[in-house]
Chains A and B, each alone.
Chain A
C-alpha cells in the first residue's frame, strides 16, 4: 500500500471479482442440487429456480469476462492452446445450460462433423460460447442452432437464434475499430468486447481470429466466431 493509503483500484476490483466468483461457484452448484432435488413435484418452483440459475450464470460469465479483461490488460492472460474435439466441446457447452433451455422450451440444434478438430484455449472459448448461449436463451423465441465447420483455414462456430435479432447499433459497433464500452446505453456489451479480444489472441501462421454478428434474412440473430 502506498503512503496516501490508496490502492490500485483495478487490482482491488480484480481480487474482489475473484472472491465473488468463488462464492458464485458455490451458489451455482447448490442451485443445481436444489433443482435436482425438486424434480417433478413442483414444476412452478423448478421454473423459478431455473431462472435464478440462468441469471447466476450470466453474472458468472460477466465476472469471467471482467477477470479476463483485467488479465488481458496486465498481460497476464496466456492462451492454453489445446486440441479440442469440436462436437464434444459444443455438446458440453449446451449441456452445461441444458436446464435453462428445458424450462424455457428452447430446442437446440447441433450441426457439427464428429471428426472436426480445433486448436484453441478451451476455457476462454467456452466462456465466449457459454455467454452467447445464455443470452440467446433470453432473447430467442424457441430455437438455437449451433453449428461448426472448417472453411478457408478457419474454424467457424456459429450460434443462431430465431428471436428479434441483434440491434443494428451493436452490429455496427462490432466492425468499428475504435469502439469503446458504452456505459450509458445500459448494455455494456462486455461479453462481445471480451469475445472479440479473445478471438484476436488466437493466431496461427499469419491468421488472426475474429467475431461477426449478423441478422440473416430468415429472422433471428447469428453470432459467429472464427478461429485460425
Chain B
C-alpha cells in the first residue's frame, strides 16, 4: 500500500495512543499535541504497571514512553515486558522519549528496540514529523507486519520481496524484516544470503549481527566469531553480540572464555536477567562458585516484581550453593542453603510443591556435605510426600536422583534417571540434565555425543596427542561430570601424559577427582578392569612424586 501525506489526517482520526510519563505536566502536554494531530483516543499512564495493565485491555496504535520513569520500570523494561507477554503487535508504534542526545543507554537485543527515539525537549512540530514518518511506514508495511503478527513468515517474506522490487525508501527495511523472518524460519542459508546482499553495499550493524547469527546456526563458528569480535571491538552497543559470542565460545569448547565474555557484557549492562542466568550457568560449569552465587543472587533481585519472577530462581541459588558444598565437602554452608529455602517457602507458600522441592534440596545439602544420616532421615520423609504428590516435575525427580547419588545410593539414582529419560525422551533440556547426573548417557543425544567423543579420543590416543585428549575429555566432563567412560578416558589421558613428561601435582589432582567419581563402580561393570589398572597407575605416579 502506498500512502500519501494527505491521507495522514484521515489516518490519525482512527488512531489510539498511550502516553507513559511520570510527570503529569508532560503527560498533559504530549496529550494536547496528539489531540491536535487528530488522534481519536489518548490514554495516559504514570508508570509501567499501569501501562502494561492498559495494554492488556486494549491494543494501541501508538505508544509514547519516557525512558526514565523514576524508580519504576523504565521505558525499555516496559517494552521488553510487552513483547514478552505478547501484548505489543508489530503494527504498533513504540516510541521512546529520552533525555540524552545519544542512544548510549545500552539496550539489549535488536528485537527489543523501539521503533524510534525522540530526544527531549521536542516541539509539537517535531513530534508530528516523527509520528507522520512512523505512521506512514507502519501503514506502508502494514500487511507485512500483520503477517508477522500472525506468524505467517512465508507471506511476510513474499510481501517483502514484492516491496523490494519497487526500490522505494522501504527497501532496506524490507531486507531487514525478510532476514529476520528467515532466521525465525530456521532458513539459515537464505538469511545468510540476504544479510550478505545488504553488507555488499554497506557495513550495517543489524546486517552484521544477522549474518553472525546465520553463521552460528550453520555451525560456521570461526566466521561468526570474526564478525562478533569486530562488532565488539567497534563498540557496538547491542548486547546481543556478547550473548552470541558466549554461545560460540561454549560450542568451541571454551566455557572459561564464554564466562569472560558474559562477565564483560554484564559489566556494561548489568540488568538483563537472562544474561545473568546464562552467566551463572557458565560459572557453575567452570566451578567458579562465588561468581556463580553472585549472579544467582542478582537474578533474584532483578526478577523481583518482573515478568521473569519465579521461585525457580531461588531453587537455582540453593542448587548453586549445594554444588559448592558437594565440591568442597563444606558443611558450614548448609545453613546458607536453609536460609534460601526458608525465604522461598515464605514468599511462595501458595505454589505447588514448594515444600517438597525445598525439602529435597535441603536433604541434598546434607548429603553433599557428607552428613548422610541427617540427609537419610529427610529423604525418608520426602519419599512419603513424593508418593502422595500427583504432580511430580522433572526437576523434582532430578534433584531426588542427585540426592541419592550424593548419599552413595547409585542404584536408586540410576533407576530414577532411566525412568526420566523414558518419560522426557523428547525434551532436550531434561535429557541434558539427566546425562549430567548419570554414570552413562541415557538420552539419545547423549549417547550419540558419547560415541563421537570416544571416536575423537581414540584418534588422539593413537597419535599420542595426550594433551589434546585431556582437553577434549575435560571439556566434555563439564557437560557430563559423572559419565564413567569420560572419567576413565580422562584418567587414561592424564596417566599417559604424566608417564611421558613426569608426574605433577595438578594433574594428579585431576586424576584423583576422576577416580573418586568412579569409586562406586561395580565389579561386574565392563569398565571395571580398566578402572583398576588406572588406579594402579595413579598410585604409582602418586608415590613417584
Query: Majority SS of interface residues in chain A?
Result: helix
Q: How far is the CB of A179 from chain B (nearest CB, A)?
A: 27
Q: Are A32 and B205 in contact (CB under 8 A)?
A: no
Q: Are B204 and A81 in contact (CB under 8 A)?
A: yes
Residue among B29, B123, B171, B172 with most chain A CB within 10 A: B123
Q: Are B125 and A123 in contact (CB under 8 A)?
A: no
Question: Beta-carbon contacts of B24-46 to A below 8 Å, as 1s and 0s?
Answer: 00000100000000000000000
Q: If the complex has contacts A115-B168, A117-B172, are A26 and B121 also in contact, measured as CB distance less than 8 A?
A: yes
Q: Are B123 and A32 in contact (CB under 8 A)?
A: yes
> Which of B126-134, B221-229, B303-311, B320-328 forms contacts with chain A?
B126-134
Q: If the complex has contacts A28-B121, A29-B121, are A95 and B203 also in contact, measured as CB distance less than 8 A?
A: no
Q: How far is the CB of A77 from chain B (nearest CB, A)?
A: 9
> From residue 1 to 57 of chain A, which have CB atoms closer than 8 A to chain B?
22, 25-26, 28-29, 32-33
Q: Are B129 and A83 in contact (CB under 8 A)?
A: no
Question: Beta-carbon contacts of A86-100 to B below 8 Å, as 1s and 0s?
Answer: 001001100110100
A218 within 8 A of B: no
Q: Are A80 and B129 in contact (CB under 8 A)?
A: no
> Bound complex: CA of A195 vs CA of B203, how far in Å?
22
Q: If the complex has contacts A26-B121, A32-B123, A96-B123, are A115 and B169 also in contact, measured as CB distance less than 8 A?
A: yes
* Minimum CB distance partner of A91 in chain B: B129
Q: If the complex has contacts A119-B204, A204-B202, A204-B203, are A85 and B121 also in contact, measured as CB distance less than 8 A?
A: no
Q: Are A83 and B172 in contact (CB under 8 A)?
A: yes
* Minimum CB distance partner of B26 in chain A: A29
Q: If the complex has contacts A92-B129, A92-B130, A123-B102, are A117 and B169 also in contact, measured as CB distance less than 8 A?
A: yes
A177 within 8 A of B: no
Q: How far is the CB of A107 from chain B (nearest CB, A)?
A: 17
> Bound complex: CA of A96 vs CA of B119, how far in Å?
12
Q: Are B126 and A92 in contact (CB under 8 A)?
A: yes
Q: Are A80 and B103 in contact (CB under 8 A)?
A: yes
Q: How far is the CB of B65 from chain A (nearest CB, A)?
A: 19
B393 within 8 A of A: no
> From residue 113 to 142 of chain A, which have CB atoms closer than 8 A to chain B?
114-117, 119, 123
Q: If the complex has contacts A88-B129, A95-B129, are A83 and B173 also in contact, measured as CB distance less than 8 A?
A: yes
Q: Are B129 and A25 in contact (CB under 8 A)?
A: no
A211 within 8 A of B: no
> From residue 111 to 145 of chain B, which have CB atoms closer than 8 A to chain A?
119-123, 125-126, 128-130, 132-133
> Bound complex: CA of A197 vs CA of B164, how far in Å?
34
- The interface residues of chain B lying within 8 Å CB-to-CB of A96 are 122-123, 125-126
Q: How far is the CB of B125 from chain A (nearest CB, A)?
A: 4
Q: Are A95 and B119 in contact (CB under 8 A)?
A: no
Question: Beta-carbon contacts of B72-108 to A below 8 Å, as 1s and 0s?
Answer: 0000000000000000000000000001011100000
A146 within 8 A of B: no
> Bound complex: CA of A2 vs CA of B102, how far in Å?
30
> From residue 70 to 86 of chain A, which have CB atoms closer than 8 A to chain B?
78, 80-81, 83, 85
> Bound complex: CA of A205 vs CA of B171, how far in Å?
20
Q: How far is the CB of A227 from chain B (nearest CB, A)?
A: 12
B235 within 8 A of A: yes
Q: If the complex has contacts A119-B202, A204-B202, are A95 and B121 also in contact, measured as CB distance less than 8 A?
A: no
Q: How far is the CB of A211 from chain B (nearest CB, A)?
A: 21
A159 within 8 A of B: no
> Bound complex: CA of A148 vs CA of B122, how far in Å?
24
A198 within 8 A of B: no
Q: Are B119 and A123 in contact (CB under 8 A)?
A: yes
Q: How far is the CB of A98 from chain B (nearest CB, A)?
A: 6
Q: Are B125 and A95 in contact (CB under 8 A)?
A: yes
Q: Are B169 and A205 in contact (CB under 8 A)?
A: no
Q: Are A25 and B121 in contact (CB under 8 A)?
A: yes
* Minimum CB distance partner of A203 in chain B: B203
Q: Are A81 and B169 in contact (CB under 8 A)?
A: no
Question: Beta-carbon contacts of A141-152 to B below 8 Å, as 1s and 0s?
Answer: 000000000000
Q: Are B101 and A123 in contact (CB under 8 A)?
A: yes
A64 within 8 A of B: yes
Can you list 27 A-B contacts with CB-CB less than 8 angstroms, sorted by A residue number?
A: A25-B99, A26-B121, A29-B120, A32-B121, A33-B29, A78-B235, A80-B102, A83-B172, A83-B204, A85-B169, A88-B129, A88-B133, A92-B126, A92-B129, A95-B128, A95-B129, A96-B125, A96-B126, A98-B125, A114-B169, A117-B169, A117-B171, A117-B172, A119-B202, A119-B204, A123-B119, A204-B203
Q: A26-B121, A85-B169, A117-B172 are in contact. List 11 more A-B contacts (CB 8 A).
A: A28-B121, A64-B101, A78-B235, A78-B237, A80-B102, A88-B133, A95-B128, A95-B129, A115-B169, A116-B169, A117-B169
10 A-B pairs with the lowest CB-CB distances in the bound complex, closest first = A29-B121, A95-B125, A92-B129, A88-B133, A115-B169, A115-B168, A25-B121, A83-B172, A117-B169, A78-B235
